Chains A and B, each alone.
Chain A
Amino acid sequence: MSPFPVLRRPRPGLLLGVVLTITVPSLLAALALSESPLSAGVREDPSGHPVSAQSGPGMRLLGKSATAGLNASYQGVELIAQRGVSGPDTIVSDVWHKDGLTVTQTSNTTMVAGGQPYVSYDADNRSAEGVFGVTKTLVALLGEHYVAVYRGTGSAVGRPALIVELRRADGSLAARFWLDKQTMVPLRREVYDASAELISQDAFVQVQFGALRPPAAAMAATKAPAGSAWAAVTAPAQLVLELNKQGWRLPGALPGGLPLYAATRSHAGAAQVVQLGYSDGLSVVSLFVQRGALAAKPAGWEQNSLLGHQVYVAGHSIIWAAGGFVYTMIADAPPRVVTQVVASLPQNAAPGVIGRIRHGLARLVAIINPFG
């Protein structure tokens, strides 16, 4: 007699029935619940025509939010926490917006010593046209680089909100927006890098909508003489081509999938500064370029090495000089992207040993050459 118990063999039909009963409903449920960008990317409207996620509810809500950020009147306090190249930056700003004019008063920051307020606005009504990066231009770029998915309702700063997520092509979460259900103005934004790390949190901690009394700084802005020192360029790519023919070295796009989308230039003649804006709708990099060399050891800047390139860093700004130009980069982008961008741009042209030898060889040849 066998020492092991003998099990009765189950009937094959019964076993198959049990397996099918468990697996089929599970698979159907998983298919119904899954909302990867690929499944969210193409759907069908009631008439049976496929609808791209870029014209779906998520993108439509962000489009409405961009318009609301421009047209709505609001006043509040924003908390902005970003991870810059030199470490985390956190600021608290009082924000007032009405009729296209935005006034921000930043105070109580961890970066600025002293408790004095910081007021900034553009004297030519060229204020930021959105809240937390939700502008018409940037939303259009978002549609080209991300998939927007409406995730239902929630709340932010005590107000009912609609939640929209941005997903990358690989399905990973890139950002999450809370849009005010009543006004559609963004109330909160979280941005994640490719490894799912939270790299930026922007949120209203107080907000009011409607007719508001303008702060003193807004009154001063409206009374300031019109005419900004900066002018927007309608064809940024054309400007880059023209300046590159004159010896400038300006990129048409930046690494990390950041195409050129905006350009402005100051009216200052030979000392003009050109600003180029690069973005995928979520990360925004401004590159300011001007002729000249950096002043020796600029005060307040920390010397740093990014992939072997010597630069100066302060907050989320980086400066360096190369080939007779000074570059200032301001980046709202993951630190890894910022490093790649700096490495791709012209670098310090100070002649090293090789440069010095090359220059000397040219002089030697000029001396020796009997036909020169």
Chain B
Amino acid sequence: MNHLGEQISALVDGELAGADLDRATAHLAACTRCRAEAADLRQLKVELRALFEVDSDDALIRRLLDMPDRGGPVPSRRHRREHPRNTRPPRRERDTKRRRGRYVLWSAVSVFVVGVGAAAFTMGGTGGAATPEPKITPQLEMFNVEHAIISGDVPFPDPTRTTARATSP
């Protein structure tokens, strides 16, 4: 049997047409090896695309955007913390006593919050359980058939079964 070879790539990319497309799909239906190869190629495309999808929240991107000038150095994380972009004028030095009082207040509040939180966490893990719920394993085989009825397509087999079998839902 002549396998699809380089035509698989064109098929996966949707570049085949006419008789070539007919021949390729017919071959794919009969050839496990080429079908597996096509599946691998599709997966590879998905993974390659994922590589190029840049997360806009990425810390590196934010730092690059913070670069002062084109060609300038990428500011370090510490530098960003210490020198925010929109630096306001330096604050007046605070009174040492006032600062100490604030520390004491914050410490007391922190100890209280942590204490209450720890108590609540401990109590939250005991008692008050909800009514027992039935344990469900979805009947995927039946669901696939119902999905096919409304989607106008053939039902996919249940992939969770290690061996397929004949069914009548």
Contacts and interface: CB of A to CB of B under 8 A. Distances in A.
B107 to A, nearest CB: 21
Interface stretch (B19-27, B70-78, B80-88, B91-99): B19-27
Contacts of B141: 120
B110 to A, nearest CB: 16
A109 B157 contact: yes
B155 A364 contact: no
B65 interface: no
B160 interface: yes
Given A104-B154, A119-B167, A359-B128, A364 B143 contact: no
B14 A190 contact: yes
Interface in B140-169: 140-169
A248 B120 CA distance: 29
Interface in A59-114: 69, 77-81, 83, 87-93, 95, 104, 106-114
B56 interface: no
Judged by DSSP, the binding face of B is helix
A274 to B, nearest CB: 11
B138 A319 contact: yes
A81 B156 CA distance: 11
B156 A363 contact: no
A300 B161 contact: yes
A125 to B, nearest CB: 10
18 contacts: A78-B154, A81-B28, A107-B164, A110-B35, A116-B163, A117-B164, A118-B165, A121-B168, A130-B153, A292-B133, A293-B134, A293-B135, A295-B137, A296-B135, A300-B160, A357-B117, A360-B124, A361-B116
Given A128-B153, A358-B124, A112 B25 contact: no
Contacts of B166: 116-119, 217
B162 A114 contact: yes
A356 B138 CA distance: 28
B8 to A, nearest CB: 12
A324 interface: yes
A252 interface: no
Interface of A: 69, 77-81, 83, 87-93, 95, 104, 106-114, 116-123, 126-135, 137-138, 154-158, 188, 190, 192, 197-198, 201-203, 205-206, 217, 220-221, 224, 229-230, 262, 264, 271, 275, 277, 279, 284, 286, 288, 290-296, 298-301, 314-317, 319, 321, 324, 326, 328, 330, 332, 335, 351, 353, 355-361, 363-364
A300 B28 contact: no
A106 B158 CA distance: 11
Contacts of A92: 29
B121 A328 contact: no
A127 B155 CA distance: 10
A262 B135 contact: no
Given A284-B153, A357-B121, 8 more contacts: A81-B28, A106-B164, A109-B157, A133-B151, A291-B134, A317-B144, A360-B119, A364-B120
B141 to A, nearest CB: 7
Contacts of B100: none
Nearest to B18: A155
Nearest to A115: B164
Contact of A108 (B13, B32, B135, B152): B32
